[in-house]
């Protein structure tokens, strides 16, 4: 064992430390004779002086500072934390699961089908143009005179047109979109509506009929599309809008007034009469009957009229689709 003794105040006494094995021996003290005045020397301990540990530094007679008390509180806190961590995980997990259990699940969005896109004008034309025919008046010498337009309304090849196109014409001929030409006869007419129905003698092998719509859903500003034969220009397309509904027009040279007409601003000219007025879906909603020009000339001035398809087809016993 080692014995560590503090140095006394008397500088004439030296202190040494010994290693003791077995029975301990005690240091001996030898008094020296009085010598020259004492000179303070620096005390430097050696390994022999501290066989079992370090020696305190500083002055030999300095009292070492007491060691700080052990961090018992911190040790206890660490022990508590280490012991509590497993239980903390056990507690946190149920709390999280409980929070997730009560988290409101957002309801799925109300998915609504997108509206059907409006067909392009080219698609509308492709639907109705094959059903448009050119009506001709046959002269006694066999030559033909362009008279107006018409539209095929059923698989038999029956045609709706304006009455004034075929009235007082002894021989009629119709030219279909596929190039088939056939003589035709008037099978029905409704003078008060300026509507006539024709039946071809030799219809095409494959008849293309138009789809009849309903004018009851028309609104001012809706698309107005006309396909006809103005100035003998077969199956020409003109577009505009519905300008008015339920119009009444007096027929020049006749004591007659047409009522319940559709007003539109798509271009129509001589040869357009009898052709179909169609909506943006390509359904026939009217039969072109004429135009109005302030000068009295048969040229378009921005105002055209059509008989509604339910009036035209219904008067002939043909219910619209």
Number of H helices, E strands in the chain: 4, 12
Instruction: Tell me which residue of 144, 247, 148 sits closest to 195, measured CA to CA.
Output: 148
164 is catalytic: yes
29 is catalytic: no
Structure tokens at 282: 């390509």
Contact 306, 264 (CB under 8 A): yes
- Residue 73's alpha-carbon distances to 80, 86, 270, in angstroms, are 10, 21, 110
Q: Which of 149, 173, 182, 194 is catalytic?
A: 194
Q: Which of 182, 243, 273, 283 is catalytic?
A: 273
Q: Which of 149, 158, 164, 283 is catalytic?
A: 164
273 is catalytic: yes
d(CA 119, CA 102): 49
Q: Which residues of 49-76 are buried (b: 16+ CB within 10 A; e: fewer)?
A: eeeeeeeeeeeeeeeeeeeeeeeeeeee
Contact 258, 251 (CB under 8 A): yes
Q: Cα 53 from chain centroid? A: 83
Name the 3-class secondary structure at 72: helix
Strand 284-291 with 304-308, pairing: antiparallel
Contact 189, 197 (CB under 8 A): yes
Residues annotated catalytic, as ranges: 164, 194, 273
């Amino acid at each position: 064992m080692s014995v560590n003794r503090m140095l006394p105040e008397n500088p004439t006494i030296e202190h040494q430390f010994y290693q003791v094995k077995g029975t301990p021996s005690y240091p001996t003290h030898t008094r020296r004779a009085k010598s020259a005045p004492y000179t303070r020397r620096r005390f430097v301990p050696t390994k022999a002086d501290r066989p079992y540990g370090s020696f305190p530094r500083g002055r030999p007679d300095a009292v070492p500072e007491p060691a700080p008390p052990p961090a018992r509180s911190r040790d206890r806190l660490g022990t508590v934390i280490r012991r509590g961590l497993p239980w903390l995980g056990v507690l946190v997990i149920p709390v999280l699961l409980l929070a997730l259990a009560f988290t409101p699940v957002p309801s799925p969005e109300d998915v609504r089908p997108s509206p059907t896109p409006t067909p392009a004008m080219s698609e509308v034309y492709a639907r109705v143009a094959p059903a448009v025919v050119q009506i001709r008046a046959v002269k006694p010498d066999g030559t033909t005179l362009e008279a107006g337009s018409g539209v095929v309304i059923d698989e038999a090849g029956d045609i709706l047109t304006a009455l004034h196109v075929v009235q007082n014409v002894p021989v009629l001929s119709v030219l279909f979109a596929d190039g088939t030409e056939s003589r035709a006869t008037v099978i029905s007419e409704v003078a008060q509506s300026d509507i006539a129905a024709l039946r071809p003698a030799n219809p095409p092998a494959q008849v293309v009929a138009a789809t009849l719509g309903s004018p009851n859903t028309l609104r001012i500003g809706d698309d107005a599309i006309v396909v006809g034969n103005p100035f003998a220009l077969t199956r020409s397309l003109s577009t505009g809008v519905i300008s008015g509904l339920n119009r009444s027009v007096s027929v020049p040279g006749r004591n007659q007034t047409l009522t319940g007409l559709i007003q539109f601003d798509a271009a129509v000219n001589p040869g357009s009469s009898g052709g179909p007025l169609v909506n943006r879906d390509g359904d026939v909603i009217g039969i072109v009957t004429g135009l109005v020009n302030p000068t009295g000339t048969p040229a378009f001035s921005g105002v055209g009229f059509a008989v509604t398809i339910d009036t035209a087809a219904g008067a002939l016993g043909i219910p619209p689709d």
